[in-house]
Each structure stands twice: as structure tokens, then as C-alpha cells.
Amino acid sequence: MTITGGCLCGAIRYAITGALGQADNCHCSMCRKAHGAAFSSYALVAPQAWRWTAGAELCARYRSSPGYERVFCPRCGSPLAVLHEGEIMGVTLGTVDGDPGVRPAFHMFVASKAPWFEITDELPCYPAYPPGFGPGG
């Protein structure tokens, strides 16, 4: 199984071999600002499963917190992935072509969610990282 995706303008493309890992909706202020939305949806990716298929040299990076970088297209602004210590660890689900094969399992950082957004689904909500997830998890 190969999952493909890319940015809005099509300049940057990627392929992921195999299934995606756990997915989540993150409501932290950094994700909200990076995505221009109430939250971001990411899925974990094994670094060895990821490859850039077009436009890798165009990728821009922004160090949003210690050890973490956000990868995006500088032409259209699409957020594509998150790196941890220089390795891909997550893909933005909105950039996947078709069905990514996973669904978000929880909401995290709801303590800093947008005040104008109401979470109406039944997924578990965590004020920050859920137990066993995130740095040191």
C-alpha cells in the first residue's frame, strides 16, 4: 500500500509506504496558526516509510519548538509534515490524496483550543498531550 499526497500548488509531492500510524486533532495555538484553522489533523509516519517524490528541494522548514520543525511549501503555504530531530514523524492529513486509511483518535491541547470552536464529536479530549504521547511519552 502506498499513500500519496502533496501541496496545493502541486510543486511538492510525497509517498508513504504502508499504513499511517495514530492520527489526532491538535488544538494548540501553533497548529491553529500554522493551518489557519480551529485545529490540525496529523497522523504518525515511520521515517523510513516516507519519501519525497517531487519538489523536496523546495520544502521550507520552520522550527516551532525545540526539536520540532514544520515542513511547508513556500509557494502555496501548504503545511505538509512535522519533523522531530530532523526526521519525518507526522503528515498533515489534509494533504493526503484520497482516504488516508486512519481517522483521528483524540483531540489534544484542548486547553488552548479556539474559543469560537465547539468540539461536538465523541473523541477523547486531552488538555495537553494524552498519556504516553508526545515528548517523553
List domains and CATH numbers for the chain: 2-22+37-102 (2.170.150.70)
pTM: 0.93
pLDDT per residue as tens, the chain (137 positions): 899 999 999 999 999 999 999 999 999 999 999 999 999 999 999 999 999 999 999 999 999 999 999 999 999 999 999 999 999 999 999 999 999 999 999 999 999 999 999 999 999 999 999 998 766 55
- The closest alpha carbon to 25, from 37, 14, 13, belongs to 37
The per-residue pLDDT for range 88-109, each reduced to its tens digit, is 999 999 999 999 999 999 999 9
Q: Enter the DSSP assignment of 130.
A: P
CA trace torsion 85, 32, 12, 14 (10° rounding): 60
